[in-house]
A and B are shown apart, each in its own frame.
Chain A
Amino acid sequence: AQSVAQPEDQVNVAEGNPLTVKCTYSVSGNPYLFWYVQYPNRGLQFLLKYITGDNLVKGSYGFEAEFNKSQTSFHLKKPSALVSDSALYFCAVRDRGRDDKIIFGKGTRLHILP
């Protein structure tokens, strides 16, 4: 069965430092992988996705993510954190070989400390 794990409920980073939000996945075939961000009482906003090709994917607001097939990971990164990056981040996976269901992780709350 397909699944997504975000091992950290919360990540704290000082402003200006690099940040990483972790995500690992399990699918039967090749995955499509996504990151979304959610601000309080709002819907989710798409950040970036991995479909195929280059393992390093660049997205909105300076975020990037690295697909690692051997480790089944898709960690979200940013070289220099901003206070405005504080939000709830979700990793999601879609299994290419299955139906159209998209599975979300439980989310990681990112706190950027001024």
Chain B
Amino acid sequence: DGGITQSPKYLFRKEGQNVTLSCEQNLNHDAMYWYRQDPGQGLRLIYYSQIVNDFQKGDIAEGYSVSREKKESFPLTVTSAQKNPTAFYLCASSIGTGITGELFFGEGSRLTVL
């Protein structure tokens, strides 16, 4: 079945460590997104990518980095520069840009900083 796979589902990190969250899709979608979800704040956009080897900052990109070397993959690195990284992270994809496509979401990764 087609879909988006995020891993790991749960991750614990010590302060000062970088961690990378994986996001893979087999939907052949062009656009991919990373959102952060905190209680009562909805979803906030971290980074998005419309095509391979290109990505743009979202509203809260500081302390995060991404790469888009393959169409299927859009990993997110949470760096030690991120002041408050404990959150639920959601990866999504859509068919293209500037059109009517809805987002398809993965099941999320919950990061806890100890």
Contacts and interface: CB of A to CB of B under 8 A. Distances in A.
Contacts of A46: 102-104
A43 B106 contact: yes
B108 A105 contact: no
Contacts of A104: 35, 42-43
Interface string A13-48: 000000000000000000010101000011111100
Nearest to B88: A41
Interface centre among B43, B48, B107 (most CB of A within 10 A): B43
Given A90-B43, A100-B31, A41 B108 contact: yes
Contacts of B50: 100
Nearest to A49: B102
A72 to B, nearest CB: 18
Contacts, number: 58
Interface string B39-51: 0111101001010
A42 B108 CA distance: 6
- The majority secondary structure among interface residues of chain B is strand
Nearest to A32: B100
A45 B104 CA distance: 7
A109 to B, nearest CB: 10
A44 B90 contact: yes
Given A32-B100, A100-B50, A43 B90 contact: yes
Q: 6 tightest CB-CB pairs across the interface, nearest first?
A: A43-B105, A106-B42, A104-B43, A100-B97, A46-B102, A44-B105
Interface of B: 4, 6, 31, 33, 35, 40-43, 45, 48, 50, 56, 58, 88, 90, 92, 97-98, 100, 102-108, 110
30 contacts: A34-B102, A34-B103, A36-B103, A41-B88, A41-B108, A42-B108, A43-B4, A43-B90, A43-B108, A44-B43, A44-B90, A44-B92, A46-B103, A46-B104, A49-B100, A49-B102, A90-B43, A96-B98, A99-B98, A100-B31, A100-B50, A100-B97, A100-B98, A101-B45, A101-B48, A102-B45, A104-B35, A104-B42, A106-B40, A106-B41
